[in-house]
Structure 1
Amino acid sequence: MALTKKQRAELRMKFGGRCAYCGCELPEKGWHADHVEPVIRFGNQMTHPERDNVENQVPACHPCNLHKFSQSLADYRRVIDDGRREFLRSGKGKALVRMGLVEMKPDPIVFWFEKYQAKGASA
C-alpha cells in the first residue's frame, strides 16, 4: 500500500521520529515503512495482503529493514541473538571483549518501539 505524505509523516513520528528496531533518529527521507507482520512481494503477487495496512507498519531505518527482511519479530529477535553469540565465539569478538572495547550483555533483545511504548505507559 502506498502511504500518503500525511500517513508517512505520522508513521515516522510513531516512536518519536526513531527507528522502531534500533532507535536511531530517522531523517525526513531515506527510511522505510516496515511491515511488522511480514508481507512478501514477488512480481505482482503478495503474501498476506490483509497485512498490508498502516496499522501493521512501523518506521525503520534502511539497515534494520534490510536485516529484518521478511521475518516475524520473534524470528528477527532470534537472528540478532544468534549473531551476538556468533560474535562472542569469533576470535575478533573475544579479543574486543577482552580488551574492554566491546561489552556483551546477556540481556534479552528489546526493540526501541517496545522501550518507547513501555516508557509511555509508565508516564
Structure 2
Amino acid sequence: MGNTEVKRKAIPKKIRIKVYEKYNGHCAYCGSDMEISEMQVDHVESLYWYGGADDISNYMPACRACNFYKSTLPLEEFREHVKTIPERLEKEFIYRISKKYGIIQEIEKPVQFYFETIPEKGNEL
C-alpha cells in the first residue's frame, strides 16, 4: 500500500501561484480566505499511500488546519471523517453544556467542500 520511498519534489513558485489561484485564494476544503504565504499545497491523492501524482492536477490549496486534518485520507474518507466531528464533540462535557445554553447550535447538512461549489480555474500551465 504505502511507499515510503517516494520523494516529494519542491513545488516551484509559479506552480504554487497557480494552485493558490484555483479557488481565488480560498482553501479548497473549508473555503476560508488565506494569503499565499499561509497556503499549504495538498495532494488530493496521497503520494505515499495512494500513488497520487506530484503535479498540479493533484494539488489543492489548503489552509493549515484542513491540510493537517485531511492528512493522507482520500477525499471521501476525509468527508466521512468531517461528518463524525459532532458525535466526537458530544463526548465532551463542555460541548454538551454549551449546547444546553444555546451557545452552540448544530445543524444537519451534508459535508460539501468549497471546491465543489465553485468552478476551478488555473489547472493548466
TM-score by length of 2: 0.79
Partner of 1:54: 56
Summarize the alignment of residues 38-117 of structure 1 with structure 2, pairs less than 5 Å apart. Answer: 38-40=46-48, 48=51, 51-117=53-119
The separation in 1 between residues aligned to 2:50 and 2:96, in whole angstroms, is 41
Question: Which letter does structure 2 place at the counterpart of 1:76?
Answer: F
The separation in 2 between residues aligned to 1:101 and 1:83, in whole angstroms, is 17
**Aligned positions, number:** 112
What is the CA-CA distance between 1:47 and the residue it aligns to? Answer: 5.6
Which structure 1 residue ranges, 5 or more long, are not aligned?
A: 41-45, 119-123
What is the CA-CA distance between 1:4 and the residue it aligns to? Answer: 2.2
Moved over 6 A (4+): none
Using CA pairs below 8 Å that are at least 6 residues apart, which structure has the higher relative contact order?
2
What is the CA-CA distance between 1:66 and the residue it aligns to? Answer: 0.9
TM-score by length of 1: 0.80
Q: Could you tell me which of 9, 12, 29 is aligned with 2:17?
A: 9
Deviations 1:23-66 (A, max 9, x none): 111112132110111222xxxxx861x52211011000111111
Contact map agreement 1:12 1:26 (CA 8 A) in 2: no
Residue identity (%) = 27
Which structure 2 residue ranges, 5 or more long, are not aligned?
A: 1-8, 121-125
